[in-house]
Amino acid sequence: MNQADRDDISSNPRTASEKIGLETFIEKRLSRRGLLLGGLAMSLSACAPKLQSSPKSRSLREQDIGVTFTFPEITRGSDGTHHVPEGYVTETLIRWGDPIHNAGPAFDPLLQTASRQAMQFGYNNDFIGFVLLDEDRGLLCVNHEYTEAKDMFPKAQRGDLARVVATEINAQGASVLEIKRMNGRWSVDKNSPRNRRITGKTPMIISGPAAGHARMITPDDPTGMRSLGTLGNCAGGVTPWGTYLTAEENINYYFGGDLPEGHSEEQNHARMDVPGDDGKAWERFMPRFDLRVAPNEPNRFGWVVEIDPKDPTSTPKKRTAMGRFKHEGAETVTAPNGHVVVYMGDDQRGDYLYKFVSRDAYDPQNPDPDLLDHGTLYVARFNETRIDWLPLVWGQGPLTQANGFASQADVLISTRLAADALGATPMDRPEDVQPAGDQGRVWVMLTNNKNRSDALDASPRNAVNLANPRPKNTYGHIIEIIEPNGDYTATTSRWDFLVKCGDPNNPDHGAIWNPEISSNGWFSAPDNCAVDPSGRLWISTDGNMKTGAADGLWAMETDGHRRGLGKAFFRAPIGAEVCGPRFTPDGQTLFLAVQHPGTDDDTDYETPMTRWPDFKENHPPRPAVIAIYKKEGGVIGT
């Protein structure tokens, strides 16, 4: 332990037991440096001290599944279909265009219209949430992140831009589906009244500190309290009370036009990259997306939206207390004191890691439906072994009227600018952020950052830093956060690298893995992740194709002498990324969202790289949610 670490602990007014916990973590951190050295000889790792599992984590493994993953690893590669280990099977649960009710229209690629799409499963499924109803029924909550007209519509139809745009807005948002299990297999219950589409036009309530603020008012909504739709829905979370959080990410792409000269939102919109350069042209058909007509409309997107999946008549709420940025996810955990903590990444190169701590404790006997409207949003500043969580609270530090923040609403509408002012640590695209229940650990997926530089004149957002040390970080890395004594509400945490991704046999990559890593077990571009019911970490990728192999899902060891060891479990069809890994509570089903199969910048409807999952001539590839099982039943991964 270096002197800085000792000073950090001794100056922190914590209890003696907390101090011991922090010292233990630092000792473990130092001991495992000898374990996580990509490419070192096995003889060196054998001499290194072993990092022991925490008692809670170890008991989970010993009781449920032993000490490691036992499935046969699949191989790296890339082709037109998907792959799972021997002994496993997959079933397609639902695809883009499948009706969500029995009365809905069947998918016909030549007949897609806005009205048909509103009754069908949306495009580019991403996050998957699961809410258990009983032993054999549950609600699947699925995000639809974005649309790509060139891959959805035949060339002859793409010229009808009004039809394309009207269909696209109904293909986004989210789907809620009741699923049922029979003979160990899940299927969509198309008779369920709970099945529902939430689209880019669904009425929403704006709640929390920014509700009704002048910067939220538009020509369509003079109250600033209600909005239409949710867009750019990437990852999300499920709350302890069984609601579904969907996170709005790249909302900038939907806006066009120029702000009136000298408009007060100029700096804020620029910080969110509004307008985008995607050329969707929605503003030509829907004036609310035209900055000349509705300059405040972008402020009504970029939030976390809470949806009650059990009540199909409920109105979704945009929870502004959790800040506005390009939300990648919103995973929740209940701290020992009962307060709910939501971890969130801002998925852009050089942006930040956040957590929200509810003001009030969660009462399971009398849950507050608006618990997430009140609390404190924090942004992370990384030091050598410590994270300081900086409160984004109006009137504190630089967050004052003198610096352009006249209220808490201003802080939250301009969250990125507020975090800039606090000196948060710019990260390499923080995507999914997953807490691990009573383990007191949190894993942060950092996908990549081609702009990261070690040049002396690099801008603060692009310069290498302690938590993002590799220039031109093409491969990404994973950070582990340790909250003291499992207190997720803590304002000081410890951190370390779990792995630095890339090829461990290529010195230019600067990768760090467990020395036992196989040629199939390493990957790049970690994106989404999940913790299974036994407390084990699983990681999906978006960009592993740049290493010459398909994206997929990997199991990741996080304890003991195997810490930092990846193992390949699922391989996606060419062109696809893997999103939303979600396990059922019994661990016997794994749901995966396969997004944009067979597509890239050079493909279109007529020329995909694969026609997965239907493989029908003249049919486009279709994003889909699949379910994975063991052939003979049992817990996934064993």
pLDDT reported for residue 333: 98
Residue type for 615, please? F
605 φψ region: left (φ > 0), alpha (ψ -120 to 50), beta (else): alpha
Pairing of strands 492-500, 526-531: unpaired
CA 31 vs CA 24, 34, 37, 516, 604: distances in Å? 11, 6, 12, 17, 51
Peptide bond into 275 cis (omega under 30): yes
pLDDT reported for residue 335: 97
% the chain with pLDDT above 70 = 89
pLDDT reported for residue 67: 54
In contact, 65 and 80? CB cutoff 8 Å: no
The pLDDT confidence band at residue 396, using thresholds 50, 70 and 90, is: very high
Mean pLDDT of the 547-562 span: 96
Dist CA 131 CA 608 (whole Å): 35
Residue 14 predicted with pLDDT over 80:
no
pLDDT reported for residue 278: 73
Residue 634 predicted with pLDDT over 50:
yes
Order of strands across the sheet with 317-319? 226-228, 203-207, 317-319, 304-307, 244-248, 233-238
The pLDDT confidence band at residue 63, using thresholds 50, 70 and 90, is: very low
Residue 488 corresponds to which tokens in the numbers above? 């997720």
Residue 296 predicted with pLDDT over 50:
yes
For residue 505, give the 3-state DSSP assignment.
Answer: coil
In contact, 126 and 234? CB cutoff 8 Å: yes
The pLDDT confidence band at residue 60, using thresholds 50, 70 and 90, is: very low
The pLDDT confidence band at residue 30, using thresholds 50, 70 and 90, is: very low
Residue 42 predicted with pLDDT over 80:
no
Within 13 Å of residue 147, how many CA atoms lie on the same side as its CB?
29
Q: What is the pLDDT of residues 304-324, one digit of tens each?
A: 999 999 999 999 999 999 999
Q: What is the pLDDT of residues 474-518, one digit of tens each?
A: 999 999 999 999 999 999 999 999 999 999 999 999 999 999 999
In contact, 96 and 612? CB cutoff 8 Å: no
Give kind and range of the element (H or E) at residue 134: strand 125-134
Whole-number mean pLDDT of the chain? 90
Q: For the range 214-222, what are the long-range contacts, defined as Cβ-Cβ under 8 Å and sequence gap of 24 or more?
A: 215/265, 215/296, 215/299, 215/409, 215/410, 215/413, 216/296, 216/299, 216/300, 216/409, 216/413, 217/296, 218/288, 218/294, 218/296, 218/297, 218/300, 219/287, 219/288, 219/293, 219/294, 220/288, 220/294
Alpha-carbon dihedral sign for residues 79, 84, 88, 91: negative
Judged by average pLDDT, the poorest of 20-34, 146-160, 600-614 is: 20-34
For residue 580, give the 3-state DSSP assignment.
Answer: strand
Instruction: Kindly compute the dihedral angle of the four CA atoms of residues 522, 524, 529, 533, in this order, to the nearest 10 degrees.
Output: 0
Q: What is the pLDDT of residues 452-486, one digit of tens each?
A: 999 999 999 999 999 999 999 999 999 999 999 99
pLDDT reported for residue 5: 31
Phi, psi of 178 (to 5 degrees): -85, 130
